Structure 1
Amino acid sequence: MQTFTSYDGTTIAYRVWEAPADAPTVVLHHGFASSATGNWVVTGVVDALTAAGRRVVAIDARGHGDSQKHHDPAYYGEDAMARDLVGLFDLLGLDRVDLVGYSMGGVVALVTAAAGRRVRRLVVGGIGASAAEQGGVDRNSLVGAALIEALLTDDPSSISDERALGFRMFAEATGADRKSLAAQARASRHTPIGLARIKVPALVLAGVDDWLATRPHVLSSALPDGRCKVLAGDHLTVVRNPEFAAAIVAFLAD
């Protein structure tokens, strides 16, 4: 694990898997309450990409994994995370990248691709119509106040929102800093992303039973060169579906 200091002094952790291929580096950004290891390593995505000869870089988002954990929402939001990504591109001298993001990381990837010209191909998973209609993760399916309360309460038995409870249980299972996650939940992005500016080929991946990635075709249709693939699984399990990694590898190699 390596680290760098981002634009506001936050320490950001990342990992690199080297490969001799001439193709652009694949950069991976994980989802909420997860990490580079949890989202990409244990699911087999990194192995699939390196087996295909690709150099891979995976970041731990601020507040997650081995990156610095603030408890002030002013340090968070997908725009801040997109700036961290650009800082990593600069650090590693990456002029062209293939960018892959999941859930929260999918929003970060969209923001990054819309704001710059370094992305050659884009894959986003775990998000659907909400990214086009709300500018972020679906706040209708997961109410922010319920999620924040579920993350901060000392009594998990008091959580009545089943979806918020699921994230609380996931955070505990991954050993996440719940106060950092609550700060990110308060700062999450819900303003238009500017999808029309993303001219590069883009793939939207979603689990058929993912309640946070409903109507993914709406997102792919909002992207000038977008396409959509729906796979077996829900928000937590689709990333472990071997077809998920295979779809990423095939699309980035096309």
Structure 2
Amino acid sequence: MPQFDSNGVTIDYSDDGEGPLMVLVHGYASNRTINWHNTSWVKTLTGAGYRVVALDNRGHGKSEKLYDSAAYQTGEMAADVVRLLDHLGADTAVVMGYSMGSRIAAFTALAAPERVSALILSGLASNLVDGVDGGAEIAAAMEAGSVADVTDPGARAFRVFAEQTKSDRKALAACIRASRQTLSEAQVHEITAPTLVVAGDKDDIAGSAEGLAALMQNAEPVSLPGRDHMTAVGDKGHKEAVLAFLKRH
């Protein structure tokens, strides 16, 4: 798979299809294959006529592993997205994120509004502003000797997922200690790109899609009935909502 140098950090990505460019940014402890390829997102979007570029975030997948938490500030991870556009020779793209990827996508739209033609924030909604607890517990779970040593149920789920994805748990611990920055209400209001906010109505990690959309200038919410943080990712209604949004914008 192709790679590029993002200010000294090697970032791996996939590039599929032809048409208007979409950049997909995956969630914490995941990678582009699990988040976007295995859930048929890439197939769905390329089938709809888009060129789909999905990166492995720093510390994840096949991208370079870093062990200094400062390297995972969300602004740095958003800069990877902008440098990817530079590498591709693309002026603009639709940027779609899931969970941590949505935080990165929102930071990208705020820092480089001229590069983001439309924004899709999935799996992270009002908690982009309100914050998500548990980062310290997840970091400790990543560094624990075994899953059996992890007592916090939420952190344990992330540890199990990290083992399933064969992730570098030391890198993930460094990442979670730095990558859960919030944006203020004023900052999300500054985002001008047409925005779709999607979250399962059972997703406590994401928060309310309606709550975040109400703070933004040009956003519309979609709440997925009966879906939580894990089951919303590949949901059929999720894909339908995104395709309808893309058709309008």
Q: Same fold (TM over 0.5)?
A: yes
CA distance in 2, matches of 1:247, 1:92: 27
Aligned residue identity for 1:203: L
> What's 1:209 paired with?
202
* Contact 1:239–1:245 under 8 Å retained in 2: no
> What's 1:3 paired with?
3
> What's 1:238 paired with?
232
Tell me how far 1:228 sits from its aligned partner. 0.7
Give the % identical residues: 41
Q: Secondary structure at the match of 2:55?
A: strand
> What's 1:176 paired with?
167
* Contact 1:151–1:178 under 8 Å retained in 2: yes
Q: Secondary structure at the match of 1:53?
A: coil
* Contact 1:31–1:104 under 8 Å retained in 2: yes
Aligned residue identity for 2:125: G
> What's 2:136 paired with?
145
> What's 2:151 paired with?
160
Are residue 119 (structure 1) and residue 112 (structure 2) matched?
A: no
* Contact 1:73–1:187 under 8 Å retained in 2: yes
> What's 2:60 paired with?
64
CA distance in 2, matches of 1:191, 1:211: 16
Tell me how far 1:14 sits from its aligned partner. 0.7
Aligned residue identity for 1:235: H
> What's 1:200 paired with?
193
Describe the superposition over 1:14-46 as per-residue Cα deviations: whole angstroms up to 9, x where unpaired.
Answer: 110131x3xx30110000001111111110111
CA distance in 2, matches of 1:191, 1:31: 15
Describe the superposition over 1:99-134 as per-residue Cα deviations: whole angstroms up to 9, x where unpaired.
Answer: 100100000000000111111111011112121234
1:37-76 to structure 2, matched below 5 A, reads 37-76=33-72
> What's 2:26 paired with?
30
Q: Secondary structure at the match of 1:239?
A: coil
> What's 1:91 paired with?
87
* Contact 1:48–1:246 under 8 Å retained in 2: no
CA distance in 2, matches of 1:198, 1:80: 18
CA distance in 2, matches of 1:129, 1:74: 25
Tell me how far 1:94 sits from its aligned partner. 1.2
**Gap regions ≥5 residues in structure 2:** none
Task: Report which stretch shifted further, 210-219 or 78-87.
Answer: 210-219
CA distance in 1, matches of 2:230, 2:180: 21
Aligned residue identity for 1:118: R
CA distance in 1, matches of 2:233, 2:180: 23
Number of equivalent positions:
244
* Contact 2:57–2:77 under 8 Å retained in 1: yes
* Contact 1:79–1:189 under 8 Å retained in 2: no
Aligned residue identity for 2:15: V
CA distance in 2, matches of 1:100, 1:26: 7
CA distance in 1, matches of 2:27, 2:182: 19
CA distance in 1, matches of 2:136, 2:233: 27
Q: Secondary structure at the match of 1:199?
A: coil
Are residue 128 (structure 1) and residue 125 (structure 2) matched?
A: yes
